[in-house]
Amino acid sequence: MKVSQWMAGICLLGTLGVAQAEARPDPDLARNLAATCANCHGTNGRAVQSAGNEELAGVPKDKLMQKLRDFRSGAKPATIMHQISKGYTEAQLELVAAYFAAQK
């Protein structure tokens, strides 16, 4: 019995390193996710004004998140954003919104 408890403890300790390795966020993930938005909203959220698309750079994160949630739920009408927003998890949308909010 003591050997199996000892082995269980060793196995548990071995998984700590794996959990920590997975917990490290990719520093480029937010930028990579936001790159999808560049076609319509410009590089780093700086839209070409003549295109008529909204600029995302510098918009507060909470405001962007509300719009993204509204697109996803269908509360805000859109041509394509309702579909695009459904392709991301809530955590990914948070990263994208934070990325654009940080662009000045």
pLDDT, one tens digit per residue, over 9-42 is 555 555 555 555 566 778 799 999 999 999 999 9
Q: Tell me whether residue 4 is in a domain.
A: no
In a domain, residue 74? The reply is: yes
The Cα–Cα gap between 13 and 37 comes to 42
Taking the model in full, what pTM does it have?
A: 0.72
Domain range for 56: 26-102
Residue 9 domain-assigned (yes or no):
no
Confirm whether 66 is domain-assigned: yes
Query: Would you say residue 11 lies in a domain?
Result: no
Does a structural domain hold residue 80?
yes
Mean pLDDT of the chain: 84
The number of folded domains in the chain is 1
CATH assignment of the domain containing 71 = 1.10.760.10
Runs of H (alpha helix) within the chain: 2-23, 29-34, 38-41, 61-73, 81-86, 90-102
